[in-house]
Amino acid sequence: MLDSNLLLLFIVGKTSLEFVERHKRTRDKFGKDDYQRLIKITNQFFTLITTAHILAEVSNLIGQSAEPVRTQYFQTLADTIDGLTEVTDSARDIIKLPEYFMFGLTDAAICLAARRDYLVLTIDGALANHLNKFEERAVNFNYLRGY
């Protein structure tokens, strides 16, 4: 499972590697090498897991782009969604978790999904540490970047 930031990187880079360093939400966090590293990692798995909350965040972030790139991003997201496995948990259940008050709705949904033994790849160190503390499988992508 990719967090929202990494799924955004995945969509932006898949649309065009050049866009990684142009999109306002990826240019300050990621480079082309990060996208290529992410692809190498995701290619090792049969399926990628996501939640409706992650997809909504990514959709909102790419929707802030100007045309014609906006439509290209949305097409890439649509093509990508077809190959994802979506885990669905009710927001009513998610807001009952202590993680909701720690991280918000999307990351709390990730915490709940991680209990199903999914590996979480995130750039959020606090989220990764929290999941690992409770023996959920999480990897901080920043540790894979070599700095």
Q: Supply the mean pLDDT for the chain.
A: 96
Give the SS3 label for residue 122.
strand
Backbone φ and ψ for 132, nearest 5 degrees, come out as: -65, -35
CA dist., res. 147 & res. 109, Å (int): 28
CA–CA separation, 118 and 111 (whole Å)? 10
86: which strand partners?
50
pLDDT at 146 over 90: no
- How far is it, in rounded angstroms, from Cα 138 to Cα 66? 34
Domain boundaries, the chain: 4-144
Please report which confidence band the pLDDT of residue 28 belongs to, taking 50, 70 and 90 as the band edges.
very high
pLDDT band at 145 (very low <50, low <70, confident <90, very high): confident
Provide the whole-model pTM. Answer: 0.95
pLDDT at 147 over 60: no
For 38-63, write each residue's pLDDT tens digit.
999 999 999 999 999 999 999 999 99
Task: Give 4-70 as a DSSP string.
Answer: HHHHHHHHHHHH-GGGGGTSTTTTTT--HHHHHHHHHHHTTSS-EEEEHHHHHHHHHHHHTSPTTHH
Q: Measure the CA–CA gap between 74 and 51, rounded to whole angstroms.
A: 17
For the segment 92-132, what is each residue's pLDDT rounded down to a tens digit?
A: 999 999 999 999 999 999 999 999 999 999 999 999 999 99
Q: Residue 126, SS3?
A: helix
Strands 84-87 and 48-51: parallel
Question: Rounded mean pLDDT of 12-34?
Answer: 96
Second CATH level (architecture) for the domain 4-144: 3-Layer(aba) Sandwich (3.40)
